[in-house]
Amino acid sequence: MTTILATDAAPAPTLTLDDRLALVSLALDARLDLAAVTVDVNSAHIAVDPLPEITIPQPPTAAPNPYRTPLAALLHRAAVRIEADGWARGACRDEDGRRCAIGAIRIEASSRSQADDASALLLDVVRREFGGDTVPSWNDSQSSPQPVLLALGRAAALAHNRNL
Mean pLDDT computed over 140-151: 94
SS3 161: helix
pLDDT at position 26 over 90: yes
* Phi and psi angles of residue 121, each rounded to the nearest 5 degrees, phi first: -65, -45
* Phi and psi angles of residue 109, each rounded to the nearest 5 degrees, phi first: -75, 150
Reported as a single tens digit per residue, the pLDDT across 82-122 is: 999 999 998 989 998 899 999 999 999 999 999 999 999 99
pLDDT at position 34 over 70: yes
Angle at 158 between CA 157 and CA 159, to 5 degrees: 90
The Cα-based distances of 116 to 68, 89, 147 in angstroms read 19, 20, 21
pLDDT for 61: 61
Closest to 159 (Cα-Cα) out of 125, 135, 111: 125
The type of residue at 9 is A
Q: How confident is the model at residue 12 (pLDDT cuts 50, 70, 90)?
A: confident
pLDDT for 70: 94
Domain ranges for the chain, please list them.
70-161
* Phi and psi angles of residue 140, each rounded to the nearest 5 degrees, phi first: -70, -20
Q: What pTM, to 2 d.p., does this model score?
A: 0.62
Reported as a single tens digit per residue, the pLDDT across 35-85 is: 999 988 888 777 666 767 777 766 656 567 888 999 999 999 999 999 999
pLDDT for 73: 95
pLDDT for 45: 74
